Amino acid sequence: MNFLEERIAKDGIVKEGNVLKVDSFLNHQMDIELLNEIGKELKKRFEGKPINKILTIEASGIGIACVAAQYFGVPVVFAKKAKSINLEGEMYVAEVESFTHKCKNQVIVAKKFLGEDDHVLIIDDFLANGCALQGLIQIVQSAGASVEGIGIAVEKGFQSGGRIIRNLGYQLESLAIVESMDSENGTIYFREQ
């Protein structure tokens, strides 16, 4: 097991309905040392790629993206999930359907922060069905920018998001891929990488 798998095995909580809670260290309370380890590992996995911008989505992707960005020396842009009155000017908008919240969301990025010269690394904390991620990819493509890769902390390997993205030919690196979970005894099984 790598450092993140170890931490998930130690502090992740398995709930019925294939829910995995990592909110004590990743997406409500955040262990900044862990985020630094994730950043270092992402830098290693995307070594040599001409990344000049990191794109993430509010809210829980922002912490990982900002700490990781220090290893890439690039700015972070975070996509917003709903139209805010303070976000004016021209925007890229992608419609995505969320499975978790059972509603449609708009993923929004101001056009001035993404253009055809951008080589983008997309970072997020979680990948399950991949709706948010599909919205982010759509936005990068609308901008004429290129997706250099996608870095995820935790992927639920038993849901379809990761397979779809890999089938589309993207370099998707998930630092921990959960293959299955047993809510009776709390055991988490990871995919060998």
Interacting residues with its own copies (CB under 8 A): 15, 19, 21, 23-25, 28-32, 35-36, 58-60, 62-63, 65-67, 69-70, 73-78, 80, 84-88, 100-101, 109-110, 112-113
Give whichever of 99 and 168 is closer to its own copies, judged by the CB atom: 99
User: Closest distance between its own copies and the C-beta of residue 118, in Å?
Assistant: 11
In single-letter form, the type of residue at position 4 comes to L
DSSP letters spanning 84-115? -TT--S-EEEEEEEETTTTEEEEEEEEGGG--
For residue 135, the surrounding DSSP H or E stretch is helix 131-142
Give whichever of 34 and 177 is closer to its own copies, judged by the CB atom: 34
Give whichever of 158 and 166 is closer to its own copies, judged by the CB atom: 158
User: Closest distance between its own copies and the C-beta of residue 32, in Å?
Assistant: 5
Give whichever of 69 and 178 is closer to its own copies, judged by the CB atom: 69
User: Closest distance between its own copies and the C-beta of residue 160, in Å?
Assistant: 19
User: Closest distance between its own copies and the C-beta of residue 169, in Å?
Assistant: 27
User: Closest distance between its own copies and the C-beta of residue 121, in Å?
Assistant: 13
Nearest Cα to Cα of residue 81 among 54, 51, 101, 52 = 101
Angle at 53 between CA 144 and CA 85, to 5 degrees: 80
Give whichever of 116 and 192 is closer to its own copies, judged by the CB atom: 116
Nearest Cα to Cα of residue 27 among 17, 41, 38 = 38
Q: Is 133 left (phi over 0), alpha (psi -120 to 50) or beta?
A: alpha
Residue 22 tokens, joined: 């990592």
